[in-house]
Structure 1
Amino acid sequence: MLGRIYAVIFSFFFIFALWYQKNYLEHYSEVVLLQSEQENSVLPINFAKKFYSKKFVNGKLKYSFSGEKIIYYNNSSFEAEGNLIYQAYDSQQKNFTAINTNKAYGQLKSYIKDNNQNSMSFGTSQGIQIATLPEKVTFSFKESKGLTYNVKIDVDNEIVSSENDFYYKGNNGIIKSKGFYYSTNNENLKLKSNVSGVFLGNKTNKMLKR
């Protein structure tokens, strides 16, 4: 009789142990999966309002970026919105290109800290590497004006470009094209394809198809 009681008790604890092990492993697996998902998730880590950032190269102002709000994420990306203004400066630190839009997103990059640098608003040594401006974008190239959509800015290579319709009004006339390519380094604007409009001056040929 006593042996049967011990057998029943043993069986009970054995079954309970199996049940506990099964539930523990399931719970542990869920925890590990949740931690893995969190580690791989893109999460906001900081934000700033009324931000204004500057990049200096060899002690000289190269570009600035300002707007109403910017959000930084844990994968070194960013999103910005509200009266965004990107400006590029020449060797005399005079503004010669201004780009205006309302929304932007892209990737940040760590730069060697310049004594004058004010990289991004939360005070790290990160600045914009690549930016996409998906909405309406207006340009000011010295005395010329431009309008397009979905612009990409490559800060390292100093290139501004778009594959969308581009409208240009300036010293060379009133011009329309499918896409453009602009180098902020040598201030060279090239139109990609389907170029049409009223052309003026002798320098127009330098602007045509890339």
Structure 2
Amino acid sequence: MHDHDFAPRRQRRLFALSSALLSAALWIAASWLLHRWHPLRSDRVHAADLRGGLRLLLALSLGWPAVFGLGSGSLVNHAAGWSAPLAIQAAVLRAALSAISPFVALRAATPLLHIRADLHGLRAWHLLVLAALGALCWDVPDMMLLAHAGVEAAGAAVLARRLLVNLGATLALIYAGGYAWHFYARRLARDAA
């Protein structure tokens, strides 16, 4: 294995670890701020459990992908040997794509799933549709960008693999965070009672 093959792989692993730690830090900070601004009492915990937690999760899903896209974009561009101005532009583009994909997914799925603006009517299985649409909105243009840079080949098999990986990661974040928020909200309510 050549050194130029090993370095990008090691950098990607390091960035994956750092992005996971950043996501955890964002989750903790958002939970603390939400409790400071909107304390949960025992008579409100049932209404706040589901929709309140999902609002927080959707807000988090809009924030950390932008950071992830910017960081991973810079690593990919460095591996491709792009010049600094072009690498910065491509990294910003990847960050923008990852940031707007949940917006596009939510906007596209809302009329189909009969979800109101206040998230009334949102069900757990709806998150599968939102995650799939978000992954699609992110992966198609991103794969075109990487293929244009010569970093990754374009094709149906590559797109399918990327969609499955990103869909699994998105669902894991949403559902794991949802259960964590559920138990966290109940604990806060018991402490405040």
TM-score by length of 2: 0.22
Structure having the larger proportion of residues in helix: 2
Tell me: higher relative CO, structure 1 or 2? Use CA pairs within 8 A at least 6 residues apart: 2
Bigger Rg, structure 1 or 2: 1
